[in-house]
Amino acid sequence: MKLSVFTVATPDLTPVELAKAAVTAGIEGIEWRFKDIPADAANEAPSFWRNNLCSIDPKATDEELEQFRLIAVNHNLVNLSVTPYLNDCNVAETENVFKAARQIGASFIRVGVPGYDRSQNYNDLFKKAVDYLHHAQELSQQYGVKGIIEIHHNTITPSAGLAHKLISGFNPDNLGVLHDAGNMVHEGYENYRMGLELLGPYLAHVHVKNARWVPTGEEQNGLKLWKSEWAPLDNGVVNFKQLLDDLKAVGYDGYLGIEDFSGQFGSQEMLTSFASKVKQWLA
């Protein structure tokens, strides 16, 4: 297994700085955040989801996209993914991402799945997602880039089981699943190996981050309330040694994408520390 980094987690680095930091940490692949910076965020301090300096603008020109291709080439890195936010399941926006991925030489993009917040029936959202994924599969075939759905809380795919239910009618050569055990702390936990076995050929990528549950100090109708929050890699609920053993058991030999939203490290320190720990657990 090899290491990559999703640039949402390195908001204070420019693309070139990120490439240099990845090389220093022994990371081989880059997953580029594909999102614009809101106009009112431009003067803010760098942050994961607003003023993220390590992002591809969806309106980037061909010349600008070429710079992202060259950043990887010039640092002997792999442009692994273009990773947007497509939860509205907009086909035109999705095609724009496929085009960008092909231009920079990326292997896959993250396609959308609907969010779930109790306001709409799951079955209706499932039907919407299936229709959208038929379009995404056609685009994958057209552009030669794979589409993957992510196991993510507050969506209709919070677990391996529900991700498999959604994706199982499609060709695993075109559409797959991004396994994220850190997201499954918030919602969707299943035995890792069972979920990986179920996904089988649809297992396309893995993210590495951690989270934990902490008491809020509040009560509601006599019940103590808890909340989930992001945590450093070695101080959360996910047992990464077990997860990596389970990945080995099912024959996974792809990338492990590093993320960290705990806010306890600068980007360079985070990448170096995470890479060292993951390599130690893989040994």
Partners of residue 43 on adjacent β-strands:
none
Percent of the chain beyond pLDDT 90? 92
- The tokens describing 218, both together, are 């509040």
CA atoms within 13 A on the CB side of 253: 1
Other residues' Cβ atoms within 10 Å of the Cβ of residue 127: 12
Reported pTM: 0.96
- The tokens describing 255, both together, are 């990338």
Rounded to 5 degrees, φ, ψ at 40 are -80, 0
Q: What is the average pLDDT score of the chain? A: 96
Tell me: the pLDDT tens digits for 70-87? 999 999 999 999 999 999
From the list 125, 231, 216, the residue with the least C-alpha distance to 186 is 231
Residue recorded with tokens 């060292």: 276
- The tokens describing 105, both together, are 């030489």
Please report which residue ranges of the chain form alpha helices under DSSP H: 15-25, 62-74, 91-104, 122-143, 160-167, 183-186, 192-199, 240-249, 267-282
pLDDT range class, residue 30, cuts 50, 70, 90: very high
Partners of residue 153 on adjacent β-strands:
none
3-21 burial, b at 16+ Cβ within 10 Å, e below that, comes to bbbbbbbbbbbebeebbbb
